[in-house]
Amino acid sequence: MRYLRFISLLALSSLLACQKLADPVTPPVSPPTEPGVVYEKGKPVGPAVQKTIGPEGGSLTSGDGTLSLRIPAGAVASATTFSVQPITATLPGLVGEQAYRLLPEGQTFARPVELQYHYQQQDLESTAAQLLFMAYQGHDGIWKALMDTELDEATRTLTITTTHFSDWGAFARFELEAQPEVVLPGASSNLTLTGYFTGWNVPVDELSGEVALTQPTVLADPQNIKNWKVSGVGSLQVAASQSQATYTAPGHAATSSTLVSVEVYNFLPPKYRPRKGAAGKAVMLKTIQIDGGNLFEATLDGQVYPNCTAAGFIDGLGIVISAAIGDANRPFWLRIRSQKIRASTTIPYKYYATGLDGTAEASLSEGLNGSWVSYVDPCDAQEVLDSPGGVRIDSVELDGRTVSGSLTLTLYNKEDCEISKRQFSAKFKLTLTDG
């Protein structure tokens, strides 16, 4: 969604975060006393697509393929230059990346021109196809949604006809916002249902089917908001207003995502004819990411690297941990060969040989300084010398998917029988994925 709407919702969510769930913010349900909110005009971004079309009619599509125009025969009396100009979006509840300025603006067409908007699946994050409508910005600066917008979910299109051009876009009737969208284990996210005209009781122009859009407002209609659910881990506490809920991640959750859903009903204004494609029900979905709190803090020759980028993988031999020590030019690699990692154990380093279950091996690459490994083959000895120390596993959680512990390591480099050593240690907590 666009920056303007994000800032507005961020401020709204920050306010709601200070409220107790049992005492939700509930705005008036009565229709707004003002016809709508004046928004600034969008500014052109990128090139316009132009085409001259005469009385025989024709078609035109925006450069990104999102908005198509079909001008029927007889719409204009003479050859007319039509254009579609992408603009920065000021439309509240915007679907997609931008709105469009259609020209010639101000001209009235003898026959209605068809506008068709092609939305994408990713545009439905935080909303639902049933809640999408076309809207235009009038000369007064107020965006007006058209309640008779036709919806075709199979082709992902919104279709409307108009006898005039202006700035046009697609917008979502309601949105399900989460603040924050990424939580740590045990942390919470506040979810809020918002809309761009107050509640369900809104004044509709019976001739045009238009509804003037306002600032984002928290919904308030418990009878028409139902069935909050969590698909995945975590719990959900729903406010009495049904328009707000609090999601809480488990205290020891792995890095993952969970889906919160809620159903809204009867969202077309009362007594207004159903639009083509209307179902009377919308299932809104919001994805909340759980950050399992991956940690890898390393110390190399006494210098501490506190926030290393790291990842852990499970494969047929056991676990592989990789990390960037300081930057991507100093990658660290650790192999733990074990079919089952257990807590409260120390795994020793051992140069790779077939069947060495319960052992570890490590390496550190450092550009021109070469590769440093957890073992060395001295020139005057038959046996490989392995690093003292080992990998200490403190805890294993979530069926082996989260592992925490520490390691101490001597790294070796040999050139012409000269052996150099470096001291390395680290502590870690990683959520493992399939390698």
Residue with tokens 């009385």: 55
Please state, as a whole number, how many other Cβ atoms lie within 10 Å of the Cβ of residue 259. 12
Query: Residue 394: its pLDDT value, please?
Result: 92
Report, in this order, helix, strand and coil percent for the chain, each rounded to 5. 5, 50, 45
pLDDT under 50 in the chain at which residues?
1-34, 198-200
d(CA 234, CA 288): 10
**How many Cα neighbours within 13 Å face the side chain of 409?**
30
Residue with tokens 């971004």: 45
d(CA 290, CA 185): 7
Secondary element (H or E) of residue 11: helix 3-17
Query: Residue 78: its pLDDT value, please?
Result: 95
d(CA 73, CA 225): 45
d(CA 252, CA 147): 46
* pLDDT tens readout for residues 354-407: 567 889 999 999 877 789 999 998 887 778 899 999 999 998 876 677 899 999
Q: Which two tokens stand for residue 121?
A: 């699946």
DSSP state of 221: -
Query: Residue 182: its pLDDT value, please?
Result: 84
DSSP state of 186: T
Buried b (16+ CB within 10 A) or exposed e, 101-138: bbbeeeeebeeebbbbbbbeeebbebbbbbbbbbbbbe
User: Among candidates 366, 333, 337, which has minimal Cα distance to 350?
Assistant: 337
d(CA 431, CA 397): 9
Residue 188, CA distances (Å) to 182, 237, 290, 291, 376 in order: 9, 10, 10, 12, 49
d(CA 208, CA 161): 11
Q: For residue 381, which amino acid is it?
A: A
d(CA 75, CA 55): 6
- Mapped onto helix, strand or coil, the DSSP state of residue 431 is strand
What does the H/E/C string look like for 107-136?
Answer: CCCCCCEEEEEECCHHHHCCCCHHHEEEEE
Q: Which two tokens stand for residue 91?
A: 């439309």
* pLDDT tens readout for residues 155-168: 999 999 999 999 99
**How many Cα neighbours within 13 Å face the side chain of 224?**
19
**How many Cα neighbours within 13 Å face the side chain of 292?**
24
d(CA 149, CA 267): 14
